[in-house]
Amino acid sequence: MATTIELIRNVKMQLQELTGFNADSVSDFTATQDGWEMTVNLLELKRIPASTDMLAAYRIKLDKAGNVTGYHRSRRYLRDQVMEETP
């Protein structure tokens, strides 16, 4: 069984191949009955200065083996934009 860190590294690699974008960070990680769900923030457009980079939060579903089974972009935002929590 992979460690959480290995799982996240694997997901970042899979997402880069699927989307063409580099993973910036993981902001949510939850075990589910079928595997895992996580939110990964991807760098969609690099700009100067870096505070104006365009990022996007992607909600990822994984099976128990750590393979991506589905994903969708939930929002786009500038790096310096404050993200509000939703209930």
pTM for the model: 0.81
State how far the alpha carbon of 2 is from the alpha carbons of 9, 13, 56, 70, in Å.
Answer: 10, 15, 26, 20
Residue 70 pLDDT grade (very low, low, confident, very high; cuts 50, 70, 90): very high
Taking the domains of the chain in order of start, what are their residue ranges?
4-78
pLDDT digits (tens, 9 = 90+) for 15-68: 999 999 999 889 999 999 999 999 999 998 888 888 888 999 999 999 999 899
CB 55 within 8 A of CB 41: yes
pLDDT of the residue at 75? 92
What pLDDT was estimated at residue 2?
72
